[in-house]
Amino acid sequence: MWQEFREGDWPPLTELLRRLPVHGCVWALLLFCFLPFVIVLLVSYPLARSARRQARLRFPPHAHRRIVDPQVIRVQKARAWTALAMSLLILVVYGTAADFEEVQEQYAFRLAVTPWLLLFTAPLVITALFRMVPVTARADMRARLRPAMRLALRYFGAFTAVPLLFAVMVLFGQSMEDHWFTPLVTFPLLALVIWAFFFVLFASGTVVRTVFGTSEVHAALPALLTGVLVWELAAVNLIMGGMPPGPPLIQICALIGGPASVSAVAWWEIDRLRTRYGVTLRGRPVP
């Protein structure tokens, strides 16, 4: 079942409930004790299932990575888990309750700011890459860039629609709270906001992994963008949250170690593209 939730299409709610090995009496007890949670589940699961299906259709998770190097993927996962473990260790040893709350705020802030940083960073990196490749390859790269631009516009349209729809729902509810038909409009708007939120959430996984399918433009472009974006995020975190907790040496290592390790893995990925697949920054963009 876990593999189906991870890769396949989610089953309908009725089928999912039938699969769970829970007796009817237990369901009655759960319904009695956790009625609000059950109502949220009954409403949100179909919306999440529909949004996930549409997100996978609009942003196919396996359609944009032209070169899949298992060794690179393993190293990227190992680096990510190591960074997470080190961050938790620093928080446990040197952090305070305020630091734990700040980490949660920074995580939510990074989720909100990362797509916008990527939107402004990608044109600069792509322009620099265009200047590096031969003139004869630029026309082909320009043609490959158009689908990535459409994908980015589609994502940012959905990303922007979530707060706009929420604002419309709140304003309508406040201005029309005395009318009998207000709930008939507010609840469908709320369902639309939840659906759009799930759509952006599920689409973000593909967007982050494929960087809007920019590997179609040049196989090394996702690694280049990642290497630049991680330093921008480090600067944003430093400005918004200050230095990490701990002694000065630990603070410097925590501040620089994360983006430096990401950049090292990205540069290693570019080197493997050159040595194993013949993809160079100044040469042909794709194998």
Q: What is the pLDDT of residues 215-268, one digit of tens each?
A: 778 888 888 888 898 999 888 888 887 888 888 898 898 889 989 999 999 999
* Contact in structure between 211 and 226 (CB atoms under 8 Å): yes
Residue range 260-281: mean pLDDT, rounded: 88
How far apart are the two ends of the chain, measured CA to CA in Å? 37
pTM: 0.73
Alpha-carbon distance of 268 to 262, in angstroms, equals 10
**Rg of the chain on CA atoms, in Å:** 23
Residues 6+ apart with CB under 8 A from 61: 205, 206, 209
Q: What secondary structure letter does DSSP report for 214?
A: G
**Regarding predicted confidence, which is higher, 287 or 82?**
82
Q: What is the pLDDT of residues 87-146, one digit of tens each?
A: 889 888 887 777 777 777 777 777 778 878 888 888 888 888 888 877 777 788 888 888
Residues 6+ apart with CB under 8 A from 251: 243, 244, 245
What tokens does 153 get? 């516009």
Q: Which residues of 18-48 are buried (b: 16+ CB within 10 A; e: fewer)?
A: eeeeeeeeeeeeeeeeeeeeeeeeeebeebb
Burial of residue 53 (number of CB atoms within 10 Å: 0-12, 13-18, 19+): middle
**Regarding predicted confidence, which is higher, 60 or 194?**
194
68: nearest Cα among 228, 281, 272: 272
What tokens does 134 get? 């031969």
3-state secondary structure of 110: helix
**Reduced DSSP (H G I as helix, E B as strand, rest coil) percent helix, strand, coil of the chain, to 5:** 80, 0, 20
Residue 75 is predicted with a pLDDT of 92
Residue 25 is predicted with a pLDDT of 66
What tokens does 287 get? 């194998």
Domain boundaries, the chain: 2-277
Alpha-carbon distance of 257 to 229, in angstroms, equals 15
